[in-house]
Amino acid sequence: MKTLYLMRHAKSSWNFDGLSDKERPLNNRGRTDAPHMGQALVKRNVQLNLLVSSPAVRALSTAALVAKELEYPADRIHVIDGIYEADLDRLLDIIRDLPDEADSVLLVGHNPTITDTVNALSPSPVNEMTTAAMVCLRFSTDSWLDAHRTNAELYFVDSPKNYEE
């Protein structure tokens, strides 16, 4: 069994002229939402074997904030450059190249590719992934190479909106 958590990065800021898209940081809401999503994973007793992220500041910051809540060492976050501008086919290749020793993986990336990937792998359709939204898919396989919609179960969809007071 393989478990994949696909997460869109938390809300980023557009307030810094002169920064490239890749350098945009999280805004206040993003810095709040990412830990909430990490806490939600803690409540589900999630134990990650691997956390992978886009190199973009907003994605890597999201990954680090979630990792902190899960007590996953920040220095073990694996940055995969190809996630940043990946299209659906490239992100599917990245997923299928994950090490089979890792049964539980969180991947933090960007829309529209995260939503497209969720819908390519999920047996049930999922609406557009909002910032910091997360989907959990479970695959009846021992190899990431065989992670497909045909052996997938959509275990949950979650977003920060579920935790607003």
Cα–Cα distance list, 100 to 2, 27, 50, 63 (Å): 9, 35, 11, 21
Token pair in block for residue 13? 């800021």
Q: What is the pLDDT of residues 147-156, one digit of tens each?
A: 999 999 999 9
Helices (H), the chain: 28-43, 57-70, 88-96, 113-121
pLDDT given for residue 16 in this prediction: 75
Q: What is the pLDDT of residues 79-102, one digit of tens each?
A: 999 999 999 999 999 999 999 999
pTM metric for this prediction: 0.96
Asked whether the predicted pLDDT for residue 164 surpasses 80, the reply is no
Residue 17 reports pLDDT greater than 80: no
Catalogue all structural domains in the chain, each as residue range(s) with its CATH number: 2-123+135-159 (3.40.50.1240)
User: Omega into 112 within 30° of 0, i.e. cis?
Assistant: yes
